[in-house]
Amino acid sequence: MNNVREIQRINERELDLAVEGAASWHDDYRDSAYIFVGNLDKRLTEGDVITIFSQYGEIMDINLPRIPEGGLRHQRGMDAEGEARLTNDQKQQQQGGKPGDRRGFGFILFEDQRSTILAVDNLNGFQLLNRTLRVDHVRDYKMPKRRNEDGEVEEPTGPSRNAAPQIPQPEARQQETNDDDEGDMDDPMAAYIARSKSASYKGEDDDKEERKRRKEQRRLIREERERRRKDRDSRDYRHDREDERYRKERQSHSRTDNGSSSRRERELSPKRSRDDRDHHRDSDHRSSNRERERRSNSRRD
């Protein structure tokens, strides 16, 4: 906990002074891309730790030490006779777990050294599963020994890169398949591995075919939508034309009706005038005849 607080204090001090570059304490570890992660919950797997720390960079290697089969007595200063007197529960309590359990700390290798600065600044003191993480730089990381194919322990020549992303090379698939086929008769396991690789490659090809099929379906759907839109626009256009033609016909009929009534009125008006004149003329004529008859009668008397 003191180391966690000390790192936090140094970081806060550098932030206040706006220290950066070679003046920062991180620059002392510029040649190492390893970090130490302590106080981890033992239930966390390598995949869990990678998920948490990969947000600050690509992780190439991870090492979460486990309790060996022989126990940790050589690290705790206990001889074989003293350990033999311990019960199984006492051994697990002293060792912090049974053989094969994780020991609660680990080492992570980033692809870029600058990722270690981000991880230390952001995750040191972070609360994870009710535990305060300790994240710090590692100057000289000693890689664990490995067992070779014969079961002998040997010094590693480089990081195992067990967390590096595996990117298959398409141009090398056929060559790998041919090489595996050549060893089918000598090693049955080689045949099994070859079949597994072939199945995985076939699965990738199937995925490509599936993506291609979905892409074609999306294209057909877009074309169908475009066709329907054009049909709808054309149908709306025809309806608009029909409405316009109908409106013009109504206007034309209206004008024709108005013109016919006025023309009939004009045609009838002179005839009415003539009839009126004839009527007045006949009336005047009858009046004059009656006047002449009256005068002729008065003369006779």
Is residue 76 domain-resident?
no
pLDDT of the chain along its 301 residues, tens only?
A: 678 888 889 888 888 888 888 889 999 999 999 999 999 999 999 999 999 999 999 999 999 999 887 665 544 444 454 455 444 544 544 455 788 889 999 999 999 999 999 999 999 999 999 999 999 999 988 888 877 777 787 888 788 888 887 766 555 555 555 554 544 445 566 666 666 666 655 555 667 788 888 888 888 888 888 888 888 887 777 777 777 887 777 777 666 655 555 555 555 555 555 556 566 566 666 667 677 777 777 766 6
pTM recorded for the entire structure = 0.49
Identify whether residues 141 and 220 lie together within a single domain.
Answer: no
| Same domain assignment for residues 159 and 259 | no
Instruction: Catalogue the E-assigned strands of 138-254.
Output: 146-147, 153-154
- Classify residue 180: in a domain, yes or no: yes
Helix/strand/coil (H/E/C) assignment for every residue in 26-38:
HHHHCCCCEEEEE
- Same domain? For 209 and 227 the reply is yes
> What would the two tokens of residue 39 be?
């106080």
- Specify whether the CB–CB gap between 32 and 120 falls below 8 A: no
Cβ(43)–Cβ(139) under 8 Å?
Answer: no
CATH code of the domain containing 17: 3.30.70.330
- 153 and 9 inside one domain: yes
33 and 174 in a single domain? The answer is no
| Residue 25, helix vs strand vs coil | helix
- 91 lies in some domain: no
The verdict on 59 and 139 lying in the same domain is: yes
Examine the domain organization and report whether 142 and 272 are in the same domain. no
Which of residues 115, 145, 167 is at a domain's end?
A: 167
Measured CA angle at 280 (ends 277, 283), to 5 deg: 150
Q: Are residues 29 and 10 both part of a single domain?
A: yes
Q: Which two tokens stand for residue 236?
A: 């709306």
Residues 178 and 233 in one domain: yes
Report long-range pairs for 69-74 (Cβ below 8 Å, ≥24 apart): 69/99, 69/100, 70/99, 71/95, 71/99
* C-alpha–C-alpha distance, residues 210 and 212, integer Å: 5
Domain-terminating residue out of 151, 167, 183: 167
The answer as to whether 280 is a domain residue is yes
Looking at the fold, whether 138 and 197 belong to one and the same domain comes out as no
Question: Which pLDDT belongs to residue 78?
Answer: 46
The residue out of 167, 191, 223 marking a domain boundary is 167
Do residues 37 and 55 both lie within one domain?
A: yes
Residue position matching structure tokens 């966390």: 44
Is 62 in a helix, a strand, or coil? strand
Q: Can you say how many angstroms the Cα of residue 276 is from the centroid of all Cα atoms in its chain?
A: 96
Q: For position 129, what pLDDT does the model report?
A: 92
Domain range for residue 161? Answer: 2-65+102-167
41, 99, 101, 147, 249 from 61: Cα distances, Å: 19, 23, 20, 17, 85
Q: Is 61 exposed, middle or buried (0-12, 13-18, 19+ CB in 10 A)?
A: buried
Residue 227 included in any domain: yes
Same domain assignment for residues 190 and 130? no
**Total domain count for the chain?**
2
226 within some domain: yes
The two most distant CA atoms of the chain are separated, in Å, by: 191
